């Protein structure tokens, strides 16, 4: 029996563990794949206060070492179900079962990928999913962006402010975002929009050297020597927990900055909940708030 179980080993989850441990609570951190979450894949992080430049993997390794030294326990497992019985949370994992008096879900989201053969090998080596994080590295250069929703439109505007040219490629003949954003993008002189083109190949083995597209008529073309930003959506994995927490129409936890849910003692933190800004700093903020709330909840039992 633990005081708090944290589901998710990204920055939100590890921050939650840190705050809980410093409140003298016993903590089990459960992660399904690898420590660090999405930020661990970033080769450079330059928007973390007080640290001018650090690799994402180094940042998250430091966080993991910090909570380990404070006594956090750790398990690799995929939690498939949670239920609450008499103020005890019972977690069913793929490999084992666990119990705690409070739970913080910080399982993050996954970027929707293009599902091309070498995509994973090129992440951080020319292929990116966060223009806000990695766009500044290409200031004054040409870039390529794929996506037709609000996130892609916002990325296009942001990139056009710092890059010489933005090649915006969409699969259909129209956008699926807000009209005001569409008009703003279409009015930017350094945003070149290519419609009805599908991404069919990423060129390069260790570094992205080009992107191949296929038009509606079957002909192909390539954009060479630019980084690629992919903004085709994110995928939360929260439906298995909807017995204890409300979800919005997109599958994110319907929780505000308090990180609370409809179930006392259950908190949600980081990209997994609905929010306007998903950044390392906002995830850390959520983790601190969720852990503080969980500790306050435990003190009332």
- Mean pLDDT throughout 196-207? 96
| The pLDDT of residue 132 | 82
Q: How confident is the model at residue 40 (pLDDT cuts 50, 70, 90)?
A: confident
| The pLDDT of residue 27 | 98
Asked if the model's pLDDT at residue 269 lies above 80, the reply is: yes
| The pLDDT of residue 150 | 85
Q: How confident is the model at residue 78 (pLDDT cuts 50, 70, 90)?
A: very high
Asked if the model's pLDDT at residue 226 lies above 90, the reply is: yes
**Which of 255, 290, 274 is CA-nearest to residue 109?**
274
| The pLDDT of residue 47 | 86
* Active site annotation includes 134: yes
| The pLDDT of residue 197 | 97
Q: How far is CA 156 from CA 61, 279, 298, in A?
A: 32, 18, 45
* Active site annotation includes 133: yes
- CATH H superfamily, domain 2-111+234-298: FAD/NAD(P)-binding domain (3.50.50.60)
Q: How confident is the model at residue 39 (pLDDT cuts 50, 70, 90)?
A: confident
Cα 103 to chain centroid, rounded = 20
Asked if the model's pLDDT at residue 277 lies above 90, the reply is: no
- Mean pLDDT throughout 266-288? 94
- Mean pLDDT throughout 21-40? 92
CA angle (264 as vertex; 262, 269 as ends), nearest 5: 75
Domain 2-111+234-298 matches domain 119-230 at the CATH topology level: yes
Q: Report the b/e string of 46-66 with b at 16+ CB within 10 A.
A: eebeeeeeebbbebbeebbee
Q: How confident is the model at residue 30 (pLDDT cuts 50, 70, 90)?
A: very high
| The pLDDT of residue 148 | 94
Q: How confident is the model at residue 111 (pLDDT cuts 50, 70, 90)?
A: confident
Catalytic residue from among 3, 86, 120, 130: 130
Q: Is-contact 197 170, C-beta < 8 A? A: yes
The 3-class secondary structure across 178-203, one letter per residue, is CHHHHHHHHHCCCEEEECCEEEEEEE
Catalytic residue from among 3, 77, 133, 148: 133
For the chain, give the mean pLDDT. Answer: 95
Q: How confident is the model at residue 231 (pLDDT cuts 50, 70, 90)?
A: very high
* pLDDT tens-digit map of 170-184: 999 999 988 999 999
| The pLDDT of residue 37 | 87
Asked if the model's pLDDT at residue 41 lies above 80, the reply is: no
Q: How far is CA 240 from CA 20, 105, 176, 196, 246, in A?
A: 25, 12, 28, 36, 11
Asked if the model's pLDDT at residue 42 lies above 80, the reply is: no
- Long-range CB pairs of 193-197 (<8 Å, 24+ gap) are 193/168, 193/169, 194/167, 194/168, 194/169, 194/170, 195/170, 196/170, 196/171, 196/172, 197/169, 197/170, 197/171, 197/221
Q: pTM of the entire structure?
A: 0.77
Asked if the model's pLDDT at residue 67 lies above 90, the reply is: yes
Q: How confident is the model at residue 9 (pLDDT cuts 50, 70, 90)?
A: very high
Catalytic residue from among 3, 134, 142, 286: 134
Instruction: Please state the domain extents for the chain.
Output: 2-111+234-298, 119-230
- Mean pLDDT throughout 155-183? 95
Q: Please tell me the class of the 119-230 domain.
A: alpha beta
| The pLDDT of residue 244 | 97
Share of residues in the chain with pLDDT > 90 (%): 85
């Amino acid at each position: 029996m633990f005081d708090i179980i944290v589901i998710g080993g990204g920055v939100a989850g590890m921050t939650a563990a840190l705050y809980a441990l410093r409140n003298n609570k016993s903590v089990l951190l459960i992660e399904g794949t690898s420590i660090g979450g999405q930020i661990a894949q970033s080769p450079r992080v330059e928007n973390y206060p007080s640290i001018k430049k650090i690799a994402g993997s180094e940042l998250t390794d430091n966080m993991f070492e910090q909570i380990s030294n404070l006594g956090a326990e750790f398990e690799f497992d995929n939690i498939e179900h949670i239920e609450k019985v008499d103020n005890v949370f019972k977690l069913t994992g793929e490999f084992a079962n666990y119990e705690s008096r409070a739970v913080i879900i910080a399982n993050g989201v996954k970027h929707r990928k293009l599902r091309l053969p070498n995509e994973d090998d090129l992440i951080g080596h020319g292929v990116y999913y966060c223009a806000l994080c990695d766009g500044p590295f290409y200031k004054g250069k040409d870039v390529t962006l794929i996506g037709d929703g609000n996130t892609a439109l916002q990325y296009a505007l942001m990139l056009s402010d710092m890059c010489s040219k933005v090649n915006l490629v969409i699969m259909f003949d129209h956008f699926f975002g807000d009209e005001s954003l569409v008009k703003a993008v279409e009015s930017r002189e350094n945003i070149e929009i290519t419609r009805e083109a599908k991404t069919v190949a990423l060129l390069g083995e260790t570094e992205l050297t080009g992107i191949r597209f296929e038009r509606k008529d079957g002909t192909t073309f390539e954009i060479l020597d630019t980084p690629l930003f992919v903004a085709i959506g994110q995928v939360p994995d929260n439906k298995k927990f909807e017995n204890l927490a409300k979800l919005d129409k997109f599958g994110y936890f319907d929780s505000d900055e308090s990180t609370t849910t409809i179930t006392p003692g259950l908190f949600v933190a980081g990209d997994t909940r609905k929010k306007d800004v998903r950044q390392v700093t906002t995830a850390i903020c959520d983790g601190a708030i969720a852990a503080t709330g969980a500790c306050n909840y435990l003190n009332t039992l």
